[in-house]
């Protein structure tokens, strides 16, 4: 068999995250792409190519990241933008117009919920929220529904409802399915494999992985990504070239980082289940999780996010967080360091206590973004903090 006859296997996420798809392999070319820190490019007329102005047509660093994300997600095209919310907002604005309707999961990041519930109605776009675990998606759909919006796993409850039934339902009606897969990362779950049309990520999190940049990405069909790009030009959700370079650097270690996140989170979730101060542990890798069977079927790993509820409620959670010595009390997630937060103060501060309770986020709820430290050191830290929490 000659090399040309050898069947080509699709590269794994680990390989795609390292290598640029169209890397220059000529002698003397850099292994690491240089930062093109330029706002504008020599350009006289359309014959001079696509690079004109960084906000308008992107920049080599942004383009490389977009292509890499598309490859990781198994999508046709990708786009890197200035933040996760920039990616979400640009996508929804591109897919809807005044008079249109969105059907969305009720289990969402707080910023996304506010965008759907308060901001898009100002532009004439209404949203119906559906409990993705036992709600009636079909009843929520209207003739003017243009988008079904999902989040898997959900922030911060970590529910993993099966997306396949709602994807089939939406596609039967010509509705585009968009999913925020930030918590999963392309290492653990790729939306295209279950028919999700468009994937968004806050690349600030696992894709970047080092808590040193703000970015968002969109991946999907070229026709839709082009629409999102058009919107982003006018709303200004541009990603700085240096941040794009940092993002590409972060993605090179995505696979090894996420596998360590998965391993540590599983150990810590299992340990938390045995603690008398803990009322409930939410982690898809636990047999006790209501969506464990679905997560096991769909995901290659259960992720680095673990949530739990303390018996002592909000006061106990405050004491727990204040007593931490290794883990850091801070919002955000997906970095190499372990971060701990209370959604009632951060991601879901805009919801009332009753609304948070309905979403499985009562007072006393603590969210852990498990890093890549030694799991035993983290367990020791959590053990002493639980003793202080009482």
For residue 381, CA distances in Å to 209, 280, 283, 326 come to 22, 19, 19, 6
Among the residue ranges 50-54, 234-238, 293-297, the one predicted with the least confidence is 50-54
pLDDT at position 358: 86
**Per-residue pLDDT for 52 more than 90?**
no
Candidates 67, 159, 190, 205; catalytic one: 205
The answer, yes or no, to whether residue 344 has pLDDT greater than 90, is: yes
Check if 55 is active-site.
yes
Q: What is the mean pLDDT of residues 10-15?
A: 88
Complete domains list, the chain, with CATH: 35-251 (3.40.640.10), 254-389 (3.90.1150.10)
Cα-Cα-Cα-Cα dihedral of 245, 251, 256, 258, to 10°? Answer: 130
Q: Does residue 6 have a pLDDT over 60?
A: no
Mean pLDDT (the chain, rounded) = 94
pLDDT band at 5 (very low <50, low <70, confident <90, very high): low
Among 146, 159, 180, 206, the active-site one is 180
Task: Answer yes or no: is pLDDT of 1 > 70.
Answer: no
Q: Is 59 in a helix, a strand, or coil?
A: coil
Q: Is 197 a catalytic residue?
A: no
Better pLDDT: 7 or 225: 225
Catalytic one among 55, 142, 252, 259?
A: 55
pLDDT at 29 (0 to 100)? 84
Tell me, what's the pLDDT at 183? 98
What pLDDT shows up at residue 56?
83
Q: What is the mean pLDDT of residues 19-26?
A: 73
Q: Which of 68, 100, 109, 359 is catalytic?
A: 109
Based on the residue annotation, tell me whether 67 is a catalytic residue of this protein. Answer: no
Which range among 10-19, 148-157, 266-275 shows the weakest confidence by mean pLDDT?
A: 10-19
What is the pLDDT at residue 21? 63
The mean pLDDT value for 54-82 works out to: 93
Enter the tokens of residue 377.
Answer: 């050191």
Instruction: Identify which of 325, 339, 203 has the alpha carbon closest to the alpha carbon of residue 261.
Output: 339
**Above 90 in pLDDT, residue 7?**
no
CA dist., res. 207 & res. 216, Å (int): 9
Strand, coil or helix: 63: helix
Confidence (pLDDT) at 191: 98
Per-residue pLDDT reduced to its tens digit, 138-186 = 999 999 999 999 999 999 999 999 999 999 999 999 999 999 999 999 9
| φ and ψ of 208, to 5 deg | -75, -55
Nearest C-alpha neighbor of 215 from the set 233, 235, 234, 201? 201
Say whether 235 is catalytic.
Answer: no
How sure is the predictor about 120, in pLDDT bands with cuts at 50, 70 and 90? very high
pLDDT tens by residue, 215-242: 999 999 999 999 999 999 999 999 999 9
């Amino acid at each position: 068999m000659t090399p040309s006859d050898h069947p080509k296997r699709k590269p794994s996420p680990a390989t795609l995250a390292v290598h640029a798809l169209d890397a220059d392999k000529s002698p003397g070319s850099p292994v690491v792409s240089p930062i093109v820190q330029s706002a504008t490019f020599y350009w006289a007329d359309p014959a001079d190519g696509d690079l004109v102005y960084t906000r308008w047509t992107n920049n080599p660093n942004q383009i490389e990241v977009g292509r890499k994300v598309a490859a990781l997600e198994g999508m046709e095209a990708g786009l890197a933008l200035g933040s996760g919310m920039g990616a979400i907002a640009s996508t929804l604005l591109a897919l809807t117009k005044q008079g249109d309707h969105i059907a969305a999961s009720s289990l969402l990041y707080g910023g996304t919920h506010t965008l759907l519930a308060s901001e898009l109605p100002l532009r004439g776009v209404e949203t119906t929220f559906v409990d993705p675990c036992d709600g009636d998606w079909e009843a929520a759909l209207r003739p003017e529904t243009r988008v079904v919006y999902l989040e898997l796993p959900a922030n911060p409850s970590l529910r993993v409802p099966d997306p396949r039934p709602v994807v089939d339902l939406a596609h039967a009606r010509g509705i585009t399915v968009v999913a925020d897969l930030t918590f999963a990362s392309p290492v653990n779950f790729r939306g295209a494999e279950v028919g999700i049309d468009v994937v968004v990520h806050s690349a600030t999190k696992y894709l970047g992985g080092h808590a040193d940049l703000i970015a968002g990405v969109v991946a999907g069909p070229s026709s839709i990504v082009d629409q999102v790009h058009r919107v982003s030009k006018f709303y200004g959700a541009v990603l700085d070239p240096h941040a794009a370079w940092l993002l590409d650097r972060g993605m090179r270690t995505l696979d090894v980082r996420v596998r360590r996140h998965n391993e540590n989170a599983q150990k810590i979730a299992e340990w938390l289940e045995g603690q008398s101060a803990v009322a409930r542990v939410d982690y898809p890798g636990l047999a006790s999780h209501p969506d464990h069977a679905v997560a096991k079927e769909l995901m290659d790993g259960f992720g680095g996010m673990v949530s739990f509820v303390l018996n002592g409620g909000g006061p106990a959670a405050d004491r727990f967080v204040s007593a931490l010595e290794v883990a850091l009390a801070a919002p955000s997630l997906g970095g190499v360091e372990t971060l701990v937060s209370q959604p009632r103060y951060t991601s879901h501060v805009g919801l009332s206590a009753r609304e948070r309770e309905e979403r499985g986020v009562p007072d006393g709820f603590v969210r852990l973004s498990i890093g890549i430290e030694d799991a035993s050191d983290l367990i020791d830290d959590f053990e002493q903090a639980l003793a202080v929490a009482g």
